[in-house]
Amino acid sequence: GNSVTQMEGPVTLSEEAFLTINCTYTATGYPSLFWYVQYPGEGLQLLLKATKADDKGSNKGFEATYRKETTSFHLEKGSVQVSDSAVYFCALRGGGSEKLVFGKGTKLTVNP
């Protein structure tokens, strides 16, 4: 079945550091890929998405590229801020299904 393997945290960085959170997936067909963010005390919010190979999703300085050859969708940001502290979830939706499959989440803490 479909699955997502996500780099486990926690990850602690200093402000303005470079961020990478690895995500790989297993799926049949051509899934859509997502990154969700959960700020403390809030629900999950869509951060970015990509629906086909080589697509790059981007939002708020975050980027992730859909790499079919490596079945990866790594999240990157060049310069993190304290306000980026949150839990990040990689997810996929398999073709023809409404269900989202999530990774375990990575907690990011950015210190000033």
Please tell me whether residue 58 binds other proteins under the rule CB under 8 A: no
How many C-beta atoms lie closer than 10 Å to residue 90's C-beta? Answer: 29
Decide whether 99 or 112 has the Cβ nearer to other proteins.
Answer: 99
**By three-state DSSP, how is residue 79 classified?**
coil
Please tell me whether residue 46 binds other proteins under the rule CB under 8 A: yes
| H or E stretch at 65 | strand 62-65
Select the residue interacting with other proteins from 14, 45, 81, 111 (CB under 8 A).
45
CB of 15 to other proteins, least distance (A): 26
Q: Give the residues lining the site for other proteins (CB under 8 A).
A: 4, 6, 8, 36, 41-46, 89, 98-105
